[in-house]
Amino acid sequence: MDFPDGLLYTKEHEWVKVENGKAKIGITDYAQHELGDIVFVELPEVGSEVVAMEPFGVVESVKTVSDLFSPVSGEVVGVNSELEATPEIVNTSPYDKGWMVEVAMSDKNELKELFSADEYTKYVEEESQ
Amino acid sequence: MSYELTDGTQGLIFNEPLLFEQGSDGRGGCALPDCDVPEKDVINLIPEDMLREEISGFPSLSEVDVVRHFTRLSQWNYSVDLGFYPLGSCTMKYNPKINEDVARLSGFSNVHPYQPEELSQGALQMMFELGEYLSEIGGMDRVSLQPAAGAHGELAGMMIIKAYHESKGENRHKVIIPDSAHGTNPASSTLCGYKVIELKSNGRGLLDPEAVEKAMDKDVAAFMITNPNTLGLFEENILEITEIVHRKGGLVYCDGANLNAIMGIARPGDMGVDVLHFNLHKTFSTPHGGGGPGAGPVGIKRELIPFMPVPVVEKNNIGQYKLNYKFPHSIGRVKAFYGNFGILVRAYTYIRTMGSEGLKKASETAVLNANYIMSQLKDYYHLPYDRQCMHESVFSDKFQNKNGITTLDIAKALIDYGFHPPTIYFPLIVKGAIMIEPTETESKDTMDRFIAAMKDIADRAEKDPDSLKKSPIKTKVTRLNETKAAREPNLRWINDYLMGVF
Amino acid sequence: MRYIPDTEKEQKEMLDSIGVKSVEGLFSSIPDSLRLKNPLSNIPHAMSEPEILRHMKGMSKKNADLDSHISFLSAGAYNHFIPSVVHHIISRSEFYTAYTPYQPEISQGTLQAIYEFQTLICQLTGMEVVNASMYDGASALAEAVLMAHRINDRKEVFLSKGIHPEYRQVVHTYCRYLGITLKEIPFSEKGIIDLEWLSKNISENTSGVAIQNPNFFGCVEDMADIEKLTHANDSIFIACVSEPVSLGILKSPGDFGADIVVGEGQGLGNPVSYGGPYLGLFATREKYIRSMPGRLVGRTVDANGKTGYVLTLSTREQHIRREKATSNICSNQALCALSATVYMALMGKEGFKKLSVLNLQKANYAKEILAGLKGYKIKFNSPVFNEFVIETPVSPDEINKNLMKEGIMGGLNLEKFYPELKNCMLICITENHRKEDIDRLWKLLKQY
């Protein structure tokens, strides 16, 4: 399983990539694997507010549904509209084409609460046991 | 696969297109009478802008076309009348034929709900007596027959609880539900505006009174329990649990889905349950109909009677039956008219056919059969809670997982042996759950064949796991692409011509 | 015991392999204090098959029925002719003794039939998505109101007073604890929605406007005007149909721009059966599909590329989404939906229209001749389909009592639901009424 360095991770299996003060958010390789074939992703609208560790959307596979938790707080400035028609790219490219939202962070300190790639790898290993 | 284990051979299965892909304009399947009153121009009766053109897409078929179409479709279904259907939690017992004949008597099926009560005494008597019988079986004081299904009974029951607390000026807003519960329980509670608190069961698959004690506070309106629970285990501490809930001012709701384990043996009402719904399509032999209609009467204790849905069927002192609407504190109606009457007739017929002794025998045999299957399979399949069960047992795919075989594979393989698979992946607290409920209407030989099939599958999982991955192979269609169905929803037939394909 | 096959010998064998001495021993987890010491005393002894049949026939004969009486009752339960084929098909036990089609490989019959049902109801209502059915028209309407609230998060819903009164009661029950305010739209002297009231009261707080067409009085509503007012405020337009046969001739609610169409499908091949089981219809637009309650069947392919059907988009439902589900509904009325599917297939395009026109012609004939009776008056001057309200010179109860002596069940006394409509009777005429039945009613009403 692939957990790239340089990204930050949550216990709920989202990743964050920080670029120019903005946080790009998606779900991890582990999450997409556990969910199976993803059939639907529900995302907030641009301009709405998200709060750290509160649900901002939903991801669905055929027989399961999971809330998406935002790793950080702030305003949504970008949404991956490709996911509407082709949710399967979350399965094929979770860290790149399958990104979900971009957030203008209101509190960068929140990033300190998140896992590094190493910590997350360890966390996943523990959880899957 | 050893074919001697199976009933099935490849039958004669026809392909059959959709209704819309056959027939020809001008055909019809029903002879309607000619108009025998002086006719008017339709536009003189209904303004033109309120009239429609023809119903685009509606088929044009003869009676023969229609009969063959649906007969062919029927042959693609598995059913209780075809074979063993050990679907846990669903109580797929045999549906007696006499019940169907009775429900179709003109004096039941052709009775209008608004005809005068004096001309509906048979219907009202049947409902009144059925309510009494169910009260007796459940140990409740009164039963409303209005809810159309189990989940509908839950909704009515939880609303009664809410109305009760409100009448006492209490604003309790939480409901505790064990993690093993059916999904309808939390969904029904939410519809009543309750917040759901999930309670974990212990390592023995049961509820700990201490955990209940801890979770109960003055905000909790009700504790929703299923007993026997969805692991097929009787909640041994039920009395202690209901006592705790009551002491803290809450009420106890019991999901009656598993009543088939305890009829005539023990009664939820005696266990401190305040509200109980019955699934007539499970316990009382009414057919499942491919997904309904069922009926979900709800039983209540005395102090809750003022809040029950209206109307209530009552008998006066001169033996007449009446519909009583005068319940000023009632939650109202959950359904138009009085309930799924045709289903109530079937359940009534079943209860009278079985009698008091027969109902008890049914539960005893259901529990015996479940324990028999469990005892025969536990060396082959992982049994997470290895104890005597009630009317169903829950296994998992843990032993088979090491060869890459999952519960889904086991279920699909069973189909090729001529059996309907058990309930799978429920309850959620058992990973890869396989929930087997044989019911009392299955013979030992049938169960022995099922057991042999399950053992054979376990054996193949060891020796030739790949062969299981392709199952089922004998069915009209093989495993279906559910991902495609969800990603590209196609929920109705659309004429290609209308779509502009041509 | 005929439904319990095992003999004592077999039971003994099973007990031996389990390793307990008696069946009693299997119930040891139930505390002794809870075990019943005596048989259930209120439940009589078992009856043999001839005995139960005699008993049930006796009970059924205490009811008047539509074979023994000519009935002019309707109000949400319609006396339509049911072709013999319907009964034969739904009595095939491959259909009625099957469970919900959770194992699609061995449930293709039920699944394809539901897919056909969804399609037929789409065609009939002019909508884009239809679910596998709800409990009945009333609960379907209640679910529609909740769905409107889910879609726009507004808190106020308008219900036409021309909606079946029991449906409105059910909506009130469902909304009791959810903070949705229900307001009733009065009817005008023409027996249809008071548009002036609606235009004055509707606002951007209005979640949905629900109407019934034809309404409870049998009158055809002015759908176009209601739609305009509703959508001008971005509210959800909910159209309820309690008499689906009307859609053979009336423009569909979908064509009038309805967002959600609900209804009662009993009239499509299901008997009146003292009020149930019936068939809740639920249709909407594709854009609202994820807010929709109930089961859906979709078309897909199997591993070999062969067409097949499955339950789909089930993440909306309670068994997956639990407390966040769109509804708590689990079952549907599959067998009633199958009746409706067979019924519509038999009627077909031409037959369904002919049926609808028959109802229209006969009811309007009855309306015209009864209007000519001295002392009687047609209450509402609006076009009607197969029901109409007539004002009677004496109480409808009194009239009905006398009609009953002639083997006739008269129309519904509307005062039961509308205290303001004194001496008003709702009469329904379907294809099952012959001209002579209508003329006989005319003759018997003449005496007042």
Q: Does one domain contain both C290 and C437?
A: no
Q: Kindly list the domain boundaries of chain A, sorted by start residue.
A: 8-107
- Pick from B175-184, B347-356, B430-439: least confident: B175-184
Whether C438 contacts chain B with CB within 8 A? yes
Rounded distance, CA B391 to CA B411, Å?
Answer: 20
Q: Does one domain contain both C135 and C201?
A: yes
- Chain B hits for A37, CB-CB cut-off 8 Å, are 483, 487
Whether A45 contacts chain C with CB within 8 A? no
Nearest-Cα distance to chain C for B30, in Å, is 6
- Chain B hits for C367, CB-CB cut-off 8 Å, are none
Q: Tell me, what's the pLDDT at B353?
A: 97
| Interchain pair C315, A63: CB under 8 A | yes
Q: Does one domain contain both C114 and C220?
A: yes
Nearest-Cα distance to chain C for A59, in Å, is 10
Q: Which of C77, C170, C342 sits opposite B113 (nearest CB)?
A: C77
Find chains touching chain A: ≥3 CB pairs under 8 Å: B, C
Give tens-digit pLDDT for B266-295. Answer: 999 999 999 999 999 999 999 999 999 999
Rounded distance, CA C348 to CA C378, Å?
Answer: 34
Q: Pick from C325, C342, C359: which residue ends a domain?
A: C342
- Chain B hits for C273, CB-CB cut-off 8 Å, are 108-111, 341-342
Mutate to test the interface with C, among B115, B385, B426 (most CBs of C within 10 A): B115
Task: Tell me, yes or no, whether C213 lies in a domain.
Answer: yes
CATH class as words, domain A8-107: mainly beta
- ipTM, 2 dp: 0.97
Q: Pick from C342, C377, C397: which residue ends a domain?
A: C342
Give tens-digit pLDDT for C197-252. Answer: 999 999 999 999 999 999 999 999 999 999 999 999 999 999 999 999 999 999 99
Task: Tell me, yes or no, whether C57 lies in a domain.
Answer: no
Say what the alpha-carbon torsion angle B61, B65, B71, B74 is, to the nearest 10 degrees. Answer: -40
Q: Does one domain contain both C90 and C74?
A: no
Task: Tell me, yes or no, whether C304 lies in a domain.
Answer: yes
Q: Does one domain contain both C200 and C262?
A: yes
* Tally of domains in chain C: 2
Q: Pick from C318, C342, C366: which residue ends a domain?
A: C342
- Chain A hits for C314, CB-CB cut-off 8 Å, are 62-63
Whether B170 contacts chain C with CB within 8 A? no
Task: Tell me, yes or no, whether C186 lies in a domain.
Answer: yes
Q: Does one domain contain both C239 and C293?
A: yes
Closest CA to C322 of A67, B321, B215: A67
Q: Does one domain contain both C400 and C267?
A: no
Task: Tell me, yes or no, whether C246 lies in a domain.
Answer: yes
Q: How far is CA C333 from CA A123, B40, C329, in A?
A: 46, 38, 11
| Interchain pair A40, C290: CB under 8 A | yes
8-state DSSP, C187: B
| Residue B10 pLDDT grade (very low, low, confident, very high; cuts 50, 70, 90) | low
Q: Tell me, what's the pLDDT at B502?
A: 35
Q: Which residues of chain C have pLDDT under 70?
A: none
Amino acid identity at C21: K
Q: Does one domain contain both C330 and C362?
A: no
**What average pLDDT score do residues B255-261 get?**
97
Taking 60 as the threshold, does the pLDDT of residue B500 lie above it? no
Nearest-Cα distance to chain A for C169, in Å, is 34
Nearest-Cα distance to chain B for C204, in Å, is 25
Residues on B contacting A at a C-beta cutoff of 8 Å: 425, 482-483, 485-487
Taking 60 as the threshold, does the pLDDT of residue B497 lie above it? no
Rounded distance, CA B281 to CA B21, Å?
Answer: 35
Give tens-digit pLDDT for A32-88. Answer: 999 999 999 999 999 999 999 999 999 999 888 999 999 999 999 999 999 999 999
Task: Tell me, yes or no, whether C44 lies in a domain.
Answer: no
Residue C283's SS3 state is strand
Q: Does one domain contain both C184 and C145?
A: yes
- Chain C hits for A62, CB-CB cut-off 8 Å, are 314-315
Mutate to test the interface with C, among B22, B41, B55, B288 (most CBs of C within 10 A): B55
Task: Tell me, yes or no, whether C27 lies in a domain.
Answer: no
CB under 8 Å to B448, separation ≥6 — which residues? none
Find chains touching chain B: ≥3 CB pairs under 8 Å: A, C
The long-range contacts involving B280-284, CB below 8 angstroms and separated by at least 24 positions, are B280/B343, B280/B344, B280/B346, B280/B347, B281/B149, B281/B343, B281/C331, B282/B90, B282/B91, B282/B93, B282/B150, B282/B257, B283/B91, B283/B256, B283/B259, B284/B346, B284/B347, B284/B350, B284/B351
8-state DSSP, C400: H
For residue C231, the enclosing domain spans 84-342
| Residue B13 pLDDT grade (very low, low, confident, very high; cuts 50, 70, 90) | confident
Q: What percent of chain B has pLDDT over 70?
A: 96
| Interchain pair B343, C248: CB under 8 A | no
Q: Which CATH number does the domain housing residue C115 bear?
A: 3.40.640.10
Q: Does one domain contain both C356 and C208?
A: no
- Chain C hits for A40, CB-CB cut-off 8 Å, are 290, 315
Q: Which of B19, B187, B335 sits opposite C345 (nearest CB)?
A: B19
Nearest-Cα distance to chain C for B97, in Å, is 10
CB atoms within 10 A of CB B243: 15
- Pick from A125-129, B312-316, C167-171: least confident: A125-129
What is the widest separation between alpha-carbon atoms in chain A? Answer: 40
Amino acid identity at C325: A
Structure tokens at B152: 């509908």
Q: Tell me, what's the pLDDT at C349?
A: 96
- Half-sphere CA count of C118, side-chain side, radius 13 A: 27
Nearest-Cα distance to chain C for B96, in Å, is 8
Task: Map out the domains of chain B with their CATH numbers.
Answer: 99-352 (3.40.640.10), 357-486 (3.90.1150.10)
- Chain C hits for A64, CB-CB cut-off 8 Å, are 315, 320
Residues on A contacting B at a C-beta cutoff of 8 Å: 37, 39-40, 60-63, 87-88
**What average pLDDT score do residues B41-52 get?**
96
Q: Does one domain contain both C317 and C195?
A: yes
Give tens-digit pLDDT for B440-495. Answer: 999 999 999 999 999 999 999 999 999 999 999 999 999 999 999 999 999 999 97
Find chains touching chain C: ≥3 CB pairs under 8 Å: A, B
Task: Tell me, yes or no, whether C52 lies in a domain.
Answer: no
Rounded distance, CA B454 to CA B462, Å?
Answer: 13
Q: Which of C10, C42, C301 sits opposite B481 (nearest CB)?
A: C301
Nearest-Cα distance to chain A for C321, in Å, is 7
Taking 60 as the threshold, does the pLDDT of residue B501 lie above it? no
Supply the DSSP string of C119-134, one letter for each residue.
HHHHHHHT-SEE-S-B
| Interchain pair B266, C36: CB under 8 A | yes
Rounded distance, CA B146 to CA C136, Å?
Answer: 12
Q: How far is CA C357 from CA B33, B48, B247, C171, C369, in A?
A: 12, 14, 64, 32, 18
Q: Tell me, what's the pLDDT at B4?
A: 58
Give tens-digit pLDDT for B86-101. Answer: 999 999 999 999 999 9
